[in-house]
Amino acid sequence: MNFIGKEIEDFKVNAYQDGDVKSITKQDLLGHWSIVFFYPADFSFVCPTELGDLADNYDAFKQAGAEIYSVSEDTEFVHQAWHEKSDEVGKVEYPMVADPAGKLARFFGVLDEEAGQAYRGVFIIDPEGKVRSYTINDMGIGRNAQEVLRTLEAAQFVAEHGDRVCPANWKPGEKTLKPGTQLVGKI
């Protein structure tokens, strides 16, 4: 199933953030760019390295006008316990979303029903609630926050400059391309 351009559905889940539990809905993801970052489980091995990497880069995501929502099938109380126990996860300031019923993971197509865990999915969602980029990795393949940030910035550039595209490894301020017959066979 292709998610590009698909609008996220209505939902209501709990999240742990800043020492408290709060409700997160579709409305919370609208009006700004969102990174929905699925991971298999709390108190695991690769997951804390990823959440810590995102935490180390959180200011850059906020400067880019994006909020991060990490999501697993654990409850908000397990998120809290992990946040309090792990030095890596203790750095997390963004919402840690609880999806124990699997509603979000099913919608985004990342739920491994047999394991009851989410594959490592990253979904970049525009301010209107539409998916603009996504990747899904198997359970053991960790991700890189800098690449997620670079992809977010490219998605934002393309959204703002619809007649231009970003080549491989593009970063803000670098040269972009304007598709047309003048480029055919020249790159």
Q: Is residue 115 part of a domain?
A: yes
pLDDT digits (tens, 9 = 90+) for 146-181: 999 999 999 999 999 988 999 999 999 999 988 877
15, 47, 97, 149: the active-site residue: 47
Number of CB atoms found within 10 A of residue 46's CB: 17
Q: Is residue 1 part of a domain?
A: no
Q: Is residue 174 part of a domain?
A: no
Instruction: Tell me what pLDDT residue 132 has.
Output: 98
Total domain count, the chain? 1
As a whole number, mean pLDDT of residues 101-110 equals 98
Q: Is residue 53 part of a domain?
A: yes
What CATH number has the domain bearing residue 58?
Answer: 3.40.30.10
Handedness of CA 81, 8, 139, 92 (dihedral sign): negative
Q: Which residue has the tokens 């953030």?
A: 17
Contact yes or no for 35/67 (Cβ under 8 A): yes
Instruction: Tell me what pLDDT residue 95 has.
Output: 98
The two tokens of residue 183 are 């480029």
Q: Is residue 26 part of a domain?
A: yes
166 catalytic residue (yes or no): no
Q: Is residue 18 part of a domain?
A: yes
Domain that holds residue 143: 12-159
pLDDT digits (tens, 9 = 90+) for 63-95: 999 999 999 999 999 999 999 999 999 999 999
Q: Is residue 62 part of a domain?
A: yes
Q: Is residue 5 part of a domain?
A: no
Instruction: Tell me what pLDDT residue 69 has.
Output: 98
